[in-house]
Amino acid sequence: QVQFVESGGGSVQAGGSLRLSCTASGYTFSVYCMGWFRQAPEKEREGVAAIAPDGTTSYADSVKGRFTISRDNAKNSLFLQMNSLKPEDTALYYCAAAPTPWTNCPTWRRGGTQNRRGQGTQVTVSS
C-alpha cells in the first residue's frame, strides 16, 4: 500500500521560512520523479517543484530562487525548503509521485497524472 506522510506546515509571517517533509512507503521511491504541489481555494493546482531520480530539479516560476526541493532516497524522503514566503504561497501543500519511472519530470510537474499523493500539510503566510 502506497502511503505519503507530509509534515512541516504551519503559519508564518511574510518573509519567513518553512521546511516541508514527505516520507513515502509502499513502492520503490528512488526510481520515481517526486513533486510538491499546492492547492489554494478557488485556484488551480500548481506544480511547485519536482525532482527526478538523478536529482535534476524543476520549479514553477513563482517560487524560483525561494524554494528548494531535495530528496533522500535512502530514507524514502522528500523535502521542500521554503524561504522568503509570501501571502500568495498560502495553500495546502502535498507530495506526489509520478505515475511511472520513465515519466518526464518537468512535464509531469506542469500538469501530469496524480494517482499517488499525500493528504497534504497547510501553509499559511500572513502579511
pLDDT band with cut points at 50, 70 and 90 for residue 113:
confident
Element (H, E) at 19: strand 18-25
d(CA 33, CA 23) in angstroms, rounded, equals 14
* pLDDT per residue as tens digits for the range 21-30: 999 999 999 9
**Average pLDDT value for the chain:** 96
Q: Quote the pLDDT of residue 115.
A: 85
Q: Give percent above pLDDT 70 in the chain.
A: 100
Q: Is 46 left (phi over 0), alpha (psi -120 to 50) or beta?
A: beta
How far is residue 48's CA from residue 62's CA, in Å, rounded to a whole number?
8
What are the backbone angles phi and psi of residue 88, rounded to the nearest 5°? -70, -5
Query: Whole-angstrom Cα distance, residue 109 to residue 36?
Result: 8
Give the per-residue pLDDT at 106: 95
Predicted local distance difference test score (pLDDT) of residue 38: 97
Q: Stretch 97-124: mean pLDDT, rounded?
A: 94
Asked if pLDDT for residue 62 goes beyond 90, the answer is yes
> Is residue 113 a contact partner of residue 1, using CB atoms and an 8 Å limit?
no
How many residues appear in the chain?
127
Residue 112 has pLDDT above 90, yes or no: no
State pLDDT tens for residues 115-127: 899 999 999 999 9
